[in-house]
Amino acid sequence: MTTLRLPSGREIRGRALKEAADPPDFGLYLLGREPAIAWPSIWVRWPDFWLPTDRTKARQAFQEALRRAEHERVEVACLGGRGRTGTALACIAVLDGVPADEAVAYVRRHYSPHAVETPWQRRYVRTFSSRP
């Protein structure tokens, strides 16, 4: 469990769901099936090692997480806390002003060196734009 500080100063906690943690004010969960969560959250269907099945919904969820992180404790999580979580954090970093071609390196440096696991996840981040 690590908190990523974005260029704007906002912070978002990334974690593996198997890690115990205090509940956030808002969570973004990236899984193949909907989790049972008792606090405000968004679930994005995202199979392990792949990409979100609905990229429009994923973008909206990333925007919501970034917006809420201004005043709330926000977390992004998947089963292992690296691939999907790292990919989402990199896309959120793009929305916060990190150039898309630098976002994976930014997240690996400030969150986890193992973040964004697959070539297609890296390509997704590189082609992710801060514009809709």
Reading the chain (132 residues) residue by residue, the pLDDT tens digits are 799 999 999 999 999 998 888 999 999 999 999 898 889 999 999 999 889 999 999 999 999 999 999 999 999 999 999 999 999 999 999 999 999 999 999 999 999 999 999 999 999 999 998 666
The four Cα atoms 2, 102, 60, 81 give a dihedral, to 10 degrees, of -30
pLDDT at 63: 97
pLDDT at 54: 95
Starting from the edge strand earliest in sequence, which strands make up the sheet with 11-16, in order? 2-5, 11-16, 74-78, 26-31, 41-45
Q: Which domains, from first to last, does the chain contain?
A: 2-126 (3.90.190.10)
Q: Of 125, 17, 117, which Cα lies nearest the Cα of 62? A: 125
